Structure 1
Amino acid sequence: MSDLCAAPIGELATFVNGAAFKPDDWGNEGQRIIRIQNLTDPVKPFNRSRRELPPALQVKPGDILVSWSASLGVFEWQGPDIGLLNQHIFRVLPDERRVEKRYLRHGLELALQEMSRHLHGATMKHVNRGEFLSTKIYVPPLPEQRRIAAILDQADALRAKRRRALAQLDALTQSIFTEMFGDPRTILAKWPTRRLGEFLEFLTSGSRGWASHYAESGDLFLRIQNVRHDQLLLDDIAYVSAPDTAEAKRTRVKPGDVLMSITADLGRTAVVPEDIGTAYINQHLSILRTKELVPRYLSAYLASPMGQRQVSGRNRHAVKAGLNFDDIRALLVPAPPAPLQCSFDSEVDAVERLKSLHGASLEKLDALFAALQHRAFRGEL
């Protein structure tokens, strides 16, 4: 690709950073405030505000957004109406005389990948604005841009289809739970029920102040973003060179442990798999090591509507959400017969194997798409 055919992305569009909203600006009425978590997780509830912002900070459906801090990504606002742009997100206003919007979106995704070498912050990553906007991309004539964008859109649609299939499999676990154990909203009345503390043989929270132990590779350091609702995600993983201390031994996970988030987004759960290797948790997670309960059943119950309702009810902190050990031990847990719990475990295991197959297929599609994207922006497509 000749430099004559390239341009810095900062010359192709205007990048408007969002506004900082104070808690006093939040409310139950007004326009949606678009935060990074609303882009990365569509089911996240929106804060709203009646605050008036300039037109440049009012996001219209179809606008391109770039989150440049913490969770990095390029998104298209899918809201039904205008939203208010929060800080740490760029609203992208393309120069339509020079660049086609869909083409620019693909170019921005590639630019973010290139910028990964220059990320700042071990725990809170963010993109340097100047470096990002100076990143050059291939800019052919508009008709050629439209042709390339159509090819990339079609390839991306295949990935989206595979992701939807995975999402449906994720939802299947809760469907199996309901079929085997009953409506999660009334499950406490169906089975013998005890406090969670009676089922636990070990309960602890993770380590604080391990920043000095971060490493490029080594042992896994599980954080809250690695634990979803009844799912362990290792695609955004941190590594540590763990010290040989009693604290490290205490916070090291074992296969079959149930992990639960105890600060911020409370009640996320996941079961530690057999092949986890050496891994530790940070202070935002707790380890629930059970006796009498099948771990996968416990995780699914805590992720169910009744489990989540109890977790929310135990949060008595107005400013910063949090659970202590007494809160965890006090949660009510139904105890279906062990054979039924084991049957549930087997059913979910079959779903997990199917998810692995779909996940492997998605990885191949991602690799093919990345190769296609690189070729496109080298002028070789």
Structure 2
Amino acid sequence: MVKRLYKFPEILFFQEGPGVRNHQYTTSGVKLLNVSNLRNGKIDLTTSDRYISENEAFNKYSHFLCDPNDFIIASSGIKIDSFNSKMGFIHQSDLPVCMNTSTIRFKVLNKEVLEIRYFMYYLKSIVFKKVLTKVVTGSAQLNFGPSHLKNMSISLPNLDIQKNIVQRLDRVNKLIEIKRKLLFQLDELVKSRFVEMFGNPIINDKKYPVFKLKDISHKIGSGVTPRGGDSNYIDKGVAFIRSMNVYNNTFKKENLVYIDKSLAKQLSQVELFSNDLLLNITGASVARCCIVPDDILPARVNQHVCIIRQCRISNVFLEYCLTNESYQEYLLLLSNKNGATREALTKAQVENLEVIFPPLTEITRFVRIVHQINKLKFA
């Protein structure tokens, strides 16, 4: 396959949005396109309510008004793992809409050379992300602009090959989306079965016996973050779990880091075992909960995640009890009662959480249902 290397400015027009000030915002007029409008690889203008007056939009900022098929990406305040979702195309139904700060739009200069969706897939590639991480500013979040982009290049095959690749990737993405929807429906099925069988675990409408978590657990305790933070992480070794890996009923391996065996030995008090439950106890992700997957063990856990090791009740049942909608609302409310500047659950609060204890026959039946549905999910 013959390819040619192009600098971005040779084949693309790109432009960063203006820095519109707070005092310029209005409640109607022309919508401002913000980073918050870029969700799941699409543009959703319903997620914000910032406007500027039509007078400013069509005069002072007329050269920032979007056109149909403009390709938009976020350029500030995002993490590398979420970059794929922070982009999308402008549609006719979105207009009129004006660029705002931290967004960049692209237009193809020569449609005989570049298919814009091919460029989109390139930006989602590992190759581009490696380039991006070398040039961007900001530590935890990406911050870049046209000054960075003008020095970047892309290797392009001929247009027919680009279109063929785009068609294939589009088909793959459609299959992925179908699978994602199916998984969501199966997850909702498990949650509805829990409520159907056990009711609301907070109000305990089925009058089950109630125990404090500390009375039915072998271990409850947060992890430890070693001195040096990120400098301890290596490419391979013992898994080190952080709150960003813990989601409700799901463990995400993206951004999973590792530490060496020597450091892992020093952190032996926070070693994880099969079937341990993980509960986030600080920050915006507080209350998220899942079971540690066996395939990432051996593992250790940092200070923002609590280990719950059961001895008297099923870990699967407890996971769905703690992630029940009513219980999540209760945990979030509890996390805001400590007077801190950020959400947090203390060890005492976790230990004293009250958990319903249905008959073991019913718990066992529910666990079987979960396992059966998981087989469908991972088939």
The TM-score, its normalising length taken from structure 1, stands at 0.73
How many angstroms does 1:269 deviate by? 0.5
- Asked if 1:91 is matched to 2:104, the reply is yes
How many angstroms does 1:233 deviate by? 2.0
Partner of 2:124, secondary structure, is helix
2:123 maps to a residue whose letter is: L
Question: Structure 2 stretches of 5 or more lacking a match?
Answer: 26-30
How many angstroms does 1:338 deviate by? 2.1
105 and 70 in structure 1: CA distance in 2 versus 1, 3 angstrom threshold: closer
Partner of 1:306, secondary structure, is helix
Alignment partner for residue 124 of structure 1, among 136, 140, 163?
Answer: 140
Corresponding position of 2:7: 8
- Asked if 1:250 is matched to 2:269, the reply is yes
Partner of 1:73, secondary structure, is helix
Alignment partner for residue 187 of structure 2, among 165, 170, 181?
Answer: 170
Alignment partner for residue 71 of structure 1, among 76, 81, 104?
Answer: 81
State the alpha-carbon separation in 2 of the partners of residues 41 and 201 from structure 1: 46
Corresponding position of 1:102: 117
Kindly provide the CA deviation profile for residues 78-102 of structure 1, in whole angstroms up to 9, marking residues without a partner as x. 9996899897x64332235444432
Partner of 2:278, secondary structure, is strand
Percent same amino acid at aligned positions? 21
How many angstroms does 1:322 deviate by? 1.5
1:201 maps to a residue whose letter is: H
Corresponding position of 1:331: 353
Partner of 2:313, secondary structure, is coil
Partner of 1:215, secondary structure, is coil
Partner of 2:303, secondary structure, is coil
Corresponding position of 2:240: 221
Alignment partner for residue 372 of structure 2, among 331, 339, 350?
Answer: 350
Corresponding position of 1:286: 306
Contact 2:210 / 2:354 at 8 angstroms: preserved in 1? yes
Corresponding position of 1:160: 177
117 and 107 in structure 1: CA distance in 2 versus 1, 3 angstrom threshold: closer
How many angstroms does 1:294 deviate by? 0.9
Contact 2:247 / 2:289 at 8 angstroms: preserved in 1? yes
272 and 323 in structure 1: CA distance in 2 versus 1, 3 angstrom threshold: same
Partner of 2:253, secondary structure, is coil
Contact 1:94 / 1:100 at 8 angstroms: preserved in 2? no
Partner of 1:92, secondary structure, is strand
Kindly provide the CA deviation profile for residues 84-138 of structure 1, in whole angstroms up to 9, marking residues without a partner as x. 9897x6433223544443232123223x4344377359x8375876379613131
- Asked if 1:34 is matched to 2:47, the reply is no
Partner of 2:290, secondary structure, is strand
Aligned length: 347
State the alpha-carbon separation in 1 of the partners of residues 50 and 211 from structure 2: 42
Corresponding position of 2:28: none
312 and 20 in structure 1: CA distance in 2 versus 1, 3 angstrom threshold: farther
Kindly provide the CA deviation profile for residues 249-302 of structure 1, in whole angstroms up to 9, marking residues without a partner as x. 121111111101111211111112344421011122111122322111111111
Partner of 2:378, secondary structure, is helix
Corresponding position of 1:137: 155
2:173 maps to a residue whose letter is: D
State the alpha-carbon separation in 1 of the partners of residues 18 and 237 from structure 2: 37
Kindly provide the CA deviation profile for residues 169-216 of structure 1, in whole angstroms up to 9, marking residues without a partner as x. 333321231232225675455422233233233111122234342111
2:155 maps to a residue whose letter is: I
Kindly provide the CA deviation profile for residues 142-172 of structure 1, in whole angstroms up to 9, marking residues without a partner as x. x775555334322321222223222323333
51 and 165 in structure 1: CA distance in 2 versus 1, 3 angstrom threshold: same
How many angstroms does 1:219 deviate by? 0.5
Contact 1:60 / 1:77 at 8 angstroms: preserved in 2? no
State the alpha-carbon separation in 2 of the partners of residues 246 and 297 from structure 1: 31
Corresponding position of 1:259: 278
Corresponding position of 1:211: 230
Kindly provide the CA deviation profile for residues 319-338 of structure 1, in whole angstroms up to 9, marking residues without a partner as x. 32211112222323211122
CA RMSD in angstroms, aligned pairs only: 4.2
198 and 184 in structure 1: CA distance in 2 versus 1, 3 angstrom threshold: closer
State the alpha-carbon separation in 2 of the partners of residues 266 and 215 from structure 1: 26
Contact 1:258 / 1:271 at 8 angstroms: preserved in 2? yes
State the alpha-carbon separation in 1 of the partners of residues 32 and 341 from structure 2: 23
Contact 1:242 / 1:248 at 8 angstroms: preserved in 2? no
Corresponding position of 1:301: 321
